Structure 1
């Protein structure tokens, strides 16, 4: 096991105190916003690990020199000598950009195209930092809000039609199929041709309803910026007379309008599913899915990629053309990877999150000296109701899901203190500290930092499990599911 240092990302939307407190940074950050802490094997922002001799080495170098030892045979053969995932803790004080992550073919083509244009990898106008698609998953560490994917078309239409603003009215007219009202221009058909030219080649198979969603979304993100607070004023009275279920979407749009006055792309919040997560709840965001994080602190894990295509709600580079070519316009509910069949609630003290990808999974766990169940598990039981009520604690213990025993793992202590042990060594971690666990270390046990070792680190089948002893602590374990 190697102690690993996260890479700090001080973006403007970040928290002024949340990550600073969690990672005990003191005056290290000064008064700047801190948005993300990366536990990273990405070549543009690599973390460092401390080797047994006290020296430091970047994660990509360590993996490149010892691929099978670090990654395991399966992951090494499947992904090559690179870290398969990028693990972060993020904290949003204000909404951040409306964005889409590229699909595989789009990422490869974009990366090679920008290389051919001699755009530096760290240039602000660069969109493609690598050749990978980026699927990502978020697990809330506190109440967390976001907008993810497209809501049902009738919901989009009802909300947009209620906004007394010309761009919103044009978007509503598009969704309703009223082409003549497109953006209020006399040359409506010409405008429609412009929007349709932005569609990806796959749009040839789309139904008309999906094309309308594309046109409405494209109308908002290509509309010129405005001066003043007209957008916010138009949104302010929207909740009156609305179904209370619409309030979260309206609130997302209002928060975005306050953070980015005059940016018409905030109206896209009314087209998208509002997501409200309590601690331990999660959402999975496949490549191509439009999304924006609004507020809160969460763990985030994704393919080992830093590719982001932005449409609005940002001062950073926007790449609207490439974003629209990757955009998935199919409406649908957000995907919860902790829910069956995407994952399994495994014990009273451990929740696993496993979407249908080979690159990553997460476990969120707790060790405690008490016999009571973890509060997060109780909330999940209440959320999923009948499904989990049938899985009583005794049943859950019999159906225990093991912590990953192979593959590259990053273990982060999020609260209190924990101790991680394998057959050779034991490491104590306090809040904000983390270790990189190579595949060659095999199975590990995670228990409270202060413990009475009774020698019972396995169940009756000989399999390892999380032990709770004196003291308490919480942790996140990032890994591959292989």
Structure 2
């Protein structure tokens, strides 16, 4: 078992205070958006087994079956198939979707054949993997997830009283659900930018004035003035998670995180196609291939407790499995013995993993087959795989 040293990514949308508060350190004044725990090549965790600091990715590469277990290597290959993060949104993230596995493989191979540089701003596929993800709230957490039913979206847009939105309202009311959503999203993202900027300004002013169900969308224009993603966001469900609640995001589901601190677990990929709320590249034709144009219930997840005390967030994905342990003072230790790799993250309190005392924000890597005992008091999240 190894204590991990992790990289904090300073993306512009990050909160300046949430991660420092969790870690118990002074804020730097700069945004701190994500802390990565895992073996992603972009920012692998670091550890020291007595011979100097190295990366978790190098440790796994030197002995995949020893670190990950034979079953995980046989199923996912010689790599850690998940990435665990602490995510702190101080401003809205981009409105985005992720491809499924077949789409990712095809898109990546196509861009490789065409010689698109991996770091090019217009590149869509950074790898050949899908990116399902799960976000679990540590504080009240606001997000957008999945399309509203078209008639509900039409009522929301109509209620703003903005004349330039009327054609979208008519489309949403007149066509079958899939066609309506596709036509309206396409029209919004391909509209004349100057005209759309005026529409966004009028819609945001109306949303600010009306409040209520419009409140989550009114704030978007402060961060992304004139961005067509502000209108596209109104097609989506608004979700507020309370601490301990989670949301699963599968392939093709448009979503954005708006505000809050959470634990995020995802397949080890960096494939993102953006719909708006971003200065970055938006590839509308490719995006339209990936988006699932169907209304969906965001489906707030609550953990299911096992007799052993582990609370599991059930998802349809094998690359990752998230659970948590709420350790009470004086309670019986929790013994974890598994043939799969694990990352344990302390989210609250002062628990122990084996002989290692943990503080909030600290994490450890547990190789496959190694038994670890959790004791003390606090909250520990466990990330592993399903084999």
Q: Secondary structure at the match of 2:134?
A: strand
**Rg larger for:** 1
Match of 1:157 among 123, 146, 154: 154
Cα shift at 1:329: 1.2
Distance 1:333 1:56 in 2: 45
Contact 1:163 1:169 in 2 (8 A): no
Q: Which residue of 1 aligns with 2:381?
A: 476
Cα shift at 1:219: 1.9
**Is 1:221 aligned to 2:189, yes or no?**
yes
**Is 1:116 aligned to 2:113, yes or no?**
yes
Contact 1:136 1:285 in 2 (8 A): yes
**Is 1:138 aligned to 2:135, yes or no?**
yes
| Cα 1:176/1:404, change in 2 over 3 Å | farther
Distance 1:316 1:353 in 2: 32
Cα shift at 1:321: 2.2
Cα shift at 1:64: 1.8
Q: Which residue of 2 aligns with 1:16?
A: 16
Distance 2:110 2:372 in 1: 44
Contact 1:171 1:217 in 2 (8 A): no
Q: How many residues align?
A: 382
Distance 2:386 2:164 in 1: 45
Contact 1:414 1:476 in 2 (8 A): yes
Q: Secondary structure at the match of 1:289?
A: coil
Distance 2:60 2:135 in 1: 25
Q: Which residue of 2 aligns with 1:42?
A: 40
Contact 2:245 2:301 in 1 (8 A): no
Distance 1:226 1:286 in 2: 31
Q: Which residue of 1 aligns with 2:324?
A: 364
**Is 1:288 aligned to 2:193, yes or no?**
no
Distance 2:53 2:164 in 1: 54
**Is 1:232 aligned to 2:204, yes or no?**
yes
Q: Secondary structure at the match of 2:126?
A: coil
Unaligned runs of 5+ in 1: 179-207, 240-246, 372-396, 449-471
Q: Secondary structure at the match of 1:145?
A: strand
Q: Which residue of 2 aligns with 1:268?
A: 232
CA displacement, residues 397-423 of structure 1 (integer Å, 9 cap, x when unaligned): 9xxx985623111111112211112xx
Q: Which residue of 2 aligns with 1:407?
A: 340
Q: Which residue of 2 aligns with 1:432?
A: 361
Q: Map 1:207-356 to 2 at 5 A.
A: 208-223=176-191, 224=193, 225-226=196-197, 229-239=201-211, 247-248=212-213, 250-338=214-302, 344-346=304-306, 350-356=310-316
Q: Secondary structure at the match of 1:11?
A: coil
Q: Which residue of 2 aligns with 1:169?
A: 166
Q: Secondary structure at the match of 1:176?
A: helix
Q: Which residue of 2 aligns with 1:392?
A: none
CA displacement, residues 118-146 of structure 1 (integer Å, 9 cap, x when unaligned): 33323333221110111111110010010
Q: Which residue of 2 aligns with 1:446?
A: 374
Distance 1:257 1:349 in 2: 44
Contact 2:82 2:320 in 1 (8 A): yes
Q: Which residue of 2 aligns with 1:181?
A: none
Q: Secondary structure at the match of 1:266?
A: helix
Q: TM-score, normalised by structure 2?
A: 0.92
Distance 1:257 1:221 in 2: 16
Distance 2:201 2:228 in 1: 11
Cα shift at 1:14: 0.3
Cα shift at 1:209: 2.3
Distance 1:356 1:402 in 2: 26
Q: Secondary structure at the match of 2:31?
A: coil
| Cα 1:157/1:370, change in 2 over 3 Å | farther
Cα shift at 1:312: 0.6
Contact 1:6 1:38 in 2 (8 A): yes
Q: Secondary structure at the match of 1:299?
A: strand
Q: Secondary structure at the match of 1:284?
A: strand
**Is 1:94 aligned to 2:23, yes or no?**
no
Unaligned runs of 5+ in 2: none
Contact 1:171 1:216 in 2 (8 A): yes
Distance 1:281 1:91 in 2: 16
Contact 1:89 1:297 in 2 (8 A): yes
| Cα 1:410/1:115, change in 2 over 3 Å | same
Contact 2:346 2:358 in 1 (8 A): yes
Q: Map 1:52-67 to 2 at 5 A.
A: 53-67=50-64
Q: Which residue of 1 aligns with 2:5?
A: 5
Contact 1:252 1:269 in 2 (8 A): no
Distance 1:337 1:131 in 2: 28
Distance 2:288 2:164 in 1: 19
Cα shift at 1:272: 1.1
